Amino acid sequence: MKNLLAFIAMLSLLISCKTNDDLPAEKESYSFQSIRYYAADSNREVTTIDIPEITYSNATGEEQRYLVYPLESYYETSLFESEDPEAFAVDSIELFVPYIIDEHNTIYVGDQKWKYSNVMQQQKLPFDTSLDIDLPPNTKVVINEKIFFSTYKTNYRLLLRGDRTGTEKIIEGTWTGTHVDKTEGSVSWYNLQSSAPPYKINAFTYQE
């Protein structure tokens, strides 16, 4: 019996003497410190898209009003990519991203509104693109519009700090995004009872 008690006491002592080194290491989490974009691998591509023509007709004897959203299906985008397996092991943060990279590779950043994410994000255009059309009786209106997008790709260097150890970690990767530069268009009014050219044309431009 004494031998059994001695064995149990020794076993308890061995268990109590296990050190923290025998426990699995706590996984590090990171907090955002800063991000820098640089033009080592930058490129810029300008795309012009012609919006499908929109037509409204008013064959009644009373004026009609239309609120038109020609660009409601067009978005700006943002995408971060990195080969570092820990690149996105950081709580959701919102960042400034480039909105202009000029011919000298000078980078200008926009509003702090994009999440640091390797999933493609979309946001609505940064200005109101709706059209308020008052259409008189026996009139047709034709709306033509085009949108000018710039697509940018550049490198980034993200600085993180370990929440547990305070160790700094640098993430390298690339960012790709699209930014709308401007839209241009016109609204043309026609008399439904005539084959004549439009009797009024209003040109317009939207930009941030």
Token pair in block for residue 101: 């990279």
Q: Are 32 and 89 in contact (CB under 8 A)?
A: no
What phi and psi values does residue 158 have, to the nearest 5 degrees? -105, 130
User: How many residues belong to the chain?
Assistant: 208
Looking at residue 21, its pLDDT comes to 52
pLDDT of residue 14 exceeding 50, the answer is no
| Residue 44, C-beta contacts closer than 8 angstroms, at least 6 positions apart | 101, 150, 151, 152
Give pLDDT tens digits for 51-88: 999 999 999 989 999 999 999 999 999 999 999 988 88
Average pLDDT over residues 18-23: 50
75-81 and 121-124 beta bridge pairing: antiparallel
64-68 and 131-135 beta bridge pairing: antiparallel
pLDDT of residue 165 exceeding 60, the answer is yes
Nearest to 70 by CA among 57, 51, 56, 55: 51
pTM of the predicted model over 0.95: no
Task: Tell me which CATH code domain 28-206 carries.
Answer: 2.170.15.10
Distances 39 to 82, 88, 94, 107, 157 between C-alpha atoms, Å: 16, 22, 21, 8, 11
Give the gyration radius of the chain's Cα atoms.
30
More confident residue, 14 or 145: 145
Q: What is the DSSP string of 137-189?
A: TTEEEEEEEEEEEEEEEEEEEEEEEETTT--EEEEEEEEEEEEEEEEEEEEEE
- The DSSP code for 7 is H
Residues above pLDDT 90, as percent of the chain:
59
**Structural domain boundaries in the chain:** 28-206
Give pLDDT tens digits for 85-129: 888 878 678 999 998 888 888 899 988 899 999 999 999 988 888
Residue that has been written with the tokens 């994009």 in this structure: 114
Average pLDDT over residues 155-167: 91
